[in-house]
Amino acid sequence: PVVKALIAINLIVYLVQFSSETYDRQIVSTLGLHYFTSEKFNPIQLLSYLFVHGSFRHLFSNMLGLFFLGPMLERLWGEKRFLLFYFITGAGGGLFYMALKYYDYAALETATQAYIQHPNLQLFKQFLVEFYPSGIPYEALSLIPASGDVTLNESVLIAEESLRGVLNTPTIGAIVS
């Protein structure tokens, strides 16, 4: 019964999440796990992020794992103990994510602050390539002029907003797929 309830909750959240783009953004922003220094962080996210998924494939692979492994553990341990295990390991995974992100974010924050203190357009391009190989966050992308020519002041704003974008990007889903 616990596994079925967990799967049902995940499906309901997914259906609401993907019923509109607005709901999707709101659910990910509110329930996804943000880094602890983010203004969007809420301690309940250490559990709520378990129920939010980025795509049907993500949801399906997570629920498939829960469907096959969960009932065995639920029968072995009982409902309460299994549910406690599910939430403790979920929160533990969230805390582990925070620990890993601490090292990534600390290096990025140091590099961003160094750039902001001594901005240079040549160094800016190198900074972006090194720290944002997949591209800068969407929020910062909107600060780039249509011409693509970035001024020194704009480069500082883009660096700051990119850092903020990384800080405010949540993790979602119980199992990485």
As a whole number of angstroms, the distance between CA 101 and CA 170 comes to 11
* pLDDT on residue 125: 87
Percent residues over pLDDT 70 in the chain? 98
Q: pLDDT grade, residue 175 (50/70/90)? A: low
Tell me the mean pLDDT in the region 62-76. Answer: 93
Predicted TM-score (pTM) of the model is 0.79
Q: Is the pLDDT of residue 112 over 80?
A: yes
* pLDDT on residue 92: 94
As a whole number of angstroms, the distance between CA 173 and CA 90 comes to 9
Q: Is the pLDDT of residue 176 over 50?
A: no
Query: Which residue is it, tokens 């190198």?
Result: 126
Decide if 131 contacts 111 (C-beta within 8 A): yes
Decide if 165 contacts 136 (C-beta within 8 A): yes
